[in-house]
Amino acid sequence: FPNQIGPNTDPSVHELSGVQGGGIYVNGYARYLQITNNILQSNGGSYGGAIRLGTPHLTPASNFNEYVRIFNNRIVANGGTNLAGGVALFAGSDNYEIANNDVCGNFSAEYGGGISHYGYSPNGSIHDNRIWFNRSYDEGGGIMIAGELPADPGLLSPGARPVNIYNNLTQANLANDDGGGLRFLMAGNFIYNVFNNMIVNNVSTHEGGGIGILDTPDIRIFNNTIMKNITTATAMTSNGQAAPAGLST
């Protein structure tokens, strides 16, 4: 229950939402942790409904959750209020691996309905998952790869660092802005490989029903099946005109 602060709360008590996890909340320094063979269903929290690694917008910007493996789980019908619905990976999740999971029916009130990589975490991999029927109220219905917003708006985001996304089924996800299946946002000038995926039947209400790309200049997309994705031109940011549905940059 995020934001449980009422009119009679002691004003010295800080907002609670930043420390609430969901199903599994990994705070920091959890190197080589393995999260495997679980059913994570109907959990809710801020910054990630089912599994949350770390916290965004730290100084220095790392949670030191390196080499975490998330394998063979059913992650179903979870919800997050900020930045992630199902699985959340925040800065310092270096060398993570998410594989062989069912990520289904999760919802984010912001970014990344299914899986959200937000912040500086090099050498991650997302592979051999079924990512379907997830939704985000903003961007990245299935998978979100994004750099953190910098504290100084005059600076560039540090980006997300290299990620490999392969052998996934990304199907029937919905974003209420860009990137119904997969969204790259301010991920930076690093190598991102997207290959051997089925990216099908996804929907965005603005651009990139299958894949939406912004400020990610070195992305390599090959050997994928990208079909039957649609855009509806109904987002608040849309001008009502048709926008690219399969892949949009």
Map 53-114 to HEC letters.
ECCCCCCCCCCCCCCCEEECCEEECCEECCCCCCEEEECCCCCCEEECCEEECCEECCCCCC
Across residues 51-70, what is the average pLDDT? Answer: 93
Q: Are 105 and 121 in contact (CB under 8 A)?
A: no
The pLDDT score that the predictor gives to residue 152 is: 86
The string of DSSP codes covering 228-239 is S-EE-S-STT--
Residue 220 has pLDDT above 70, yes or no: yes
Rounded mean pLDDT of the chain?
92
Confidence of residue 1 (pLDDT cuts 50, 70, 90): very low
pLDDT at 6 > cutoff 90: no
Work out the average pLDDT over 21-36: 93
| Of the candidate ranges 132-136, 153-157, 207-211, the one whose mean pLDDT is the lowest | 153-157
Q: What is the mean pLDDT of residues 195-203?
A: 98
pLDDT digits (tens, 9 = 90+) for 91-119: 999 999 999 999 999 999 999 999 999 99
With cut-offs at 50, 70 and 90, classify the pLDDT of residue 9: very low
pLDDT band of 7, cuts 50, 70, 90: very low
pLDDT the model gives residue 221: 98
pLDDT (average), residues 190-207: 98
- At 8, the pLDDT band (50, 70, 90 cuts) reads very low
Rounded Cα distance, 115 and 142, in Å: 6
Question: What pLDDT sits at residue 208?
Answer: 97
> How far apart (Å, rounded) are the C-alpha atoms in residues 45 and 84?
9
Mean pLDDT of 166-189: 97
